[in-house]
Amino acid sequence: MSAADLSNAHWRKAMHSAQGNGGCVEIAGNLPGLTGIRDSLRPQDVPHVTSKAAFATFLADTKVGYYDMDLPA
């Protein structure tokens, strides 16, 4: 499998990344058929790349709480 060409990726920081919650995520949604995901605090690291369909499914599942964890109070 070849690496995705991310040279033209336009990275956008998630709205809640700057609120001190430790979640620092950037998304590149302008790639044909792909979505790039990276840690905005470590942009030099290799990003995760997935299909737009898989990322859309992940977002939909997240919005309905599929990945919510029961954390101790």
What are residue 48's DSSP bridge partners?
37
Residue 17 domain-assigned? yes
Give the C-alpha separation, 47 to 42, whole Å. 9
Give the C-alpha separation, 64 to 25, whole Å. 20
Residue 2 domain-assigned? no
For residue range 35-72, list pLDDT tens digits in order: 999 998 888 999 999 999 999 999 999 999 998 887 67
Stated pTM of the model? 0.77
Contact 53, 36 (CB under 8 A): no
- Segments forming the whole domain that contains residue 48: 11-58
Helix (H) or strand (E) run with residue 55 in it: helix 52-63
Q: How confident is the model at residue 4 (pLDDT cuts 50, 70, 90)?
A: confident
Residue 67 domain-assigned? no
Residue 54 domain-assigned? yes
The count of domains in the chain is 1
For residue range 27-38, list pLDDT tens digits in order: 999 999 999 999
Residue 17 has what pLDDT? Answer: 66
Q: How confident is the model at residue 14 (pLDDT cuts 50, 70, 90)?
A: confident
Residue 47 domain-assigned? yes
